[in-house]
Amino acid sequence: MRTRYVLVLAMAGLMGFTTGCRTNTVDKGAFKSALNDYYKSRQVCLWAAPVKFPAQADTSNDEQTKSYDALTDAGLLTRMATEKKRILIGSKSVNNYDLSDKGRAAWTADATQPGYGNFCFGQREVTSIDSYSPENTDAAQYSVTFHSRVKGLPDWANTAETRTAFPTIDAVAASEQLATAILVKSSNGWQVSNVQSTAMGQ
């Protein structure tokens, strides 16, 4: 009888230890998966807002032409030189740019504006879950701090011409971003909201 009593106590202690460990553990992998799913539909693109093609640029204006020329060299655009007539003062040289076949394959169209879109060069991937609060494992909402990095740059984004014309590619691709997000538990798993970047290059 005494042996059975000791065995029961030992098993109860083991179960209590296991339960205690579980209550002190939060599944950071679930946070990471939810954040990566969030970023899948939020690619990082060349322009802050969608642009329209075909487009025209004055050949004498380097600011207008350098970005389009870089994308032409990368094979995403076609370029055609022409003369644009102006009232009273003759004509001026302009370049007409449009999407090439390669460009159309890489183009992310804006569903709300026909003809508009962007060239996107990657999406963020979470590299680490740094902290979260509260520490309670039964919480339905957490504030999660994490690092992420843009990965998988396409070939056209790695050309010297493109990186010179769009320095944001280097700035984004070369560093990790520190951010904080609110994750809310739902019947479909963790839902991400209110992502705020707090630092670059950390």
- Rg of the chain's alpha carbons, rounded to an integer? 27
Where is mean pLDDT largest: 2-11, 154-163, 191-200? 154-163
The residues facing 142 across adjacent strands are 183
In the predicted model, is pLDDT for residue 201 greater than 90? no
pLDDT band at 88, cuts 50/70/90? low
Q: Taking a C-beta distance cutoff of 8 angstroms, is the pair 76, 106 a contact? A: yes
Choose between 8 and 181: higher pLDDT.
Answer: 181
Domain extent listing, the chain: 26-200
In the predicted model, is pLDDT for residue 198 greater than 80? no
Mean pLDDT of 67-88: 85
What distance, in Å, lies between the first and last C-alpha atoms of the chain? Answer: 62
In the predicted model, is pLDDT for residue 200 greater than 70? no
Report d(CA 70, CA 141) in Å as an integer: 45
pLDDT band at 110, cuts 50/70/90? very high
Q: What is the predicted pLDDT for the residue at 1?
A: 54
Per-residue model confidence as pLDDT tens digits over 123-143? 999 999 999 999 878 889 999
Lowest average pLDDT, out of 91-95, 124-128, 174-178, goes to 91-95
Mean pLDDT of 187-198: 88
Report d(CA 99, CA 120) in Å as an integer: 14
Mean pLDDT of 28-53: 93
Report d(CA 107, CA 51) in Å as an integer: 11
What is the DSSP-derived secondary structure letter of residue 59?
T
- How many of the other CB atoms lie within 10 Å of CB of 150? 21
